[in-house]
Amino acid sequence: MKTIFLIGKIENRIMNYELRIKNNKGFTLVELVMAMSIFVILISIAAGGFINILRNQRLVIALMIVNDNMSLSMEQMAREIRTGYNFSKVSDSELQFVNSHNQVVLYRLNNGAIERVMESATLEKIPQKITADNVKIASFNIEVCGNNISPDLLLDSCGGGGGVNPPRITLSFSITSAEPDIERLKIFTNIQTTISSRVLI
């Protein structure tokens, strides 16, 4: 009887042990290490993608700011050119004319910026930069054609019309940002506009 009792006790212990093993829910050390490894890999991929998105957004915003600043500079030039006369293309990147206040004005490319040069009362030429510091002009080309008020300043005929067309000025720019990352990537925006003088001959 004692033996049966002992066997029954041992069976109870074995069953209790098996039950304890079945009821103990958890992870082994290997499972935990594997889960952590996968988690770290996924987080590092996501963080790298997020950093790349932020960098690209910064570049796009810098290019948008450059385009906005250049649009303002072009609008300033166009406003003055529309009311000007006696246009002269000094070089491929220099335009000289007389504005509505009868002042001689010269627009030119100098060190990656557009400058407006005017003569002072003492006939001293005063250059003034009209593009923002974050704008870098890679190229500036000017085409002038039509008919001037002064017969001494001859222009191209712009493809015919018998020389009766008012002056038309085409300004072409290739611009980029002065930010080093954009310069390194060599991202340029090409902008062109044509302005016709309102001063009739």
Supply the pLDDT for residue 140: 92
Supply the pLDDT for residue 151: 56
Supply the pLDDT for residue 119: 76
pTM comes to 0.69
Supply the pLDDT for residue 108: 93
CA atoms within 13 A on the CB side of 9: 6
Supply the pLDDT for residue 149: 59
Supply the pLDDT for residue 100: 86
What are the pLDDT digits (tens) for 77-120? 999 999 988 888 888 889 988 888 888 899 999 998 999 998 77
Instruction: Give pLDDT < 70 ranges for the chain.
Output: 1-26, 121-122, 147-164, 200-201
